[in-house]
Structure 1
Amino acid sequence: MSEKYKFRDPEGLYFVTCTIVHWIGLFTRKEFKHIIVDSLKYCQNLVENEITDEPEWYLYSSARDYAGKMGLLAVELLH
């Protein structure tokens, strides 16, 4: 690994991103597919998994729109 990718300051603040190389395997291999699907299911159960107390409190949830609050994306409400 190159020196430029090592974090040397234990007190430092770092921003790290990840890039998937040869990403097609992520969608074609069953073991990866299950990890992604399980992760999405986990995120859908915001209250049950103690991510938030109320679904509408979660910034990225459309439940905010149904609770009368403004979400991050435009949502067409179904009644």
Structure 2
Amino acid sequence: MFMAVGAGGALGAMSRYGVAQLVGGGLFGIAGPMATLVVNVAGSSLMGAIAGGIAAGMSLPEAWRGFIAVGFLGALT
């Protein structure tokens, strides 16, 4: 489980950095806040979809939950 969370966290952190680079010059000079807004809205939406799916009976192995929810989305947001 530690490896799954760590791998997800590494990918999430790189994704957050990538989004910050894409936002780049920024909209009206507010690149930092816009990148934060984008990743937080995307991460929260994905986490909500996963939580809703699990509550509705979606089967997701524990290692994948750790990788996606705790690791990737935790580091992304």
Q: Which TM-score applies when normalising by structure 2?
A: 0.32
Q: Which TM-score applies when normalising by structure 1?
A: 0.31
- Larger C-alpha radius of gyration, 1 or 2? 1
Greater RCO (Cα-Cα under 8 Å, separation 6 or more): 2
More helix by share: 2
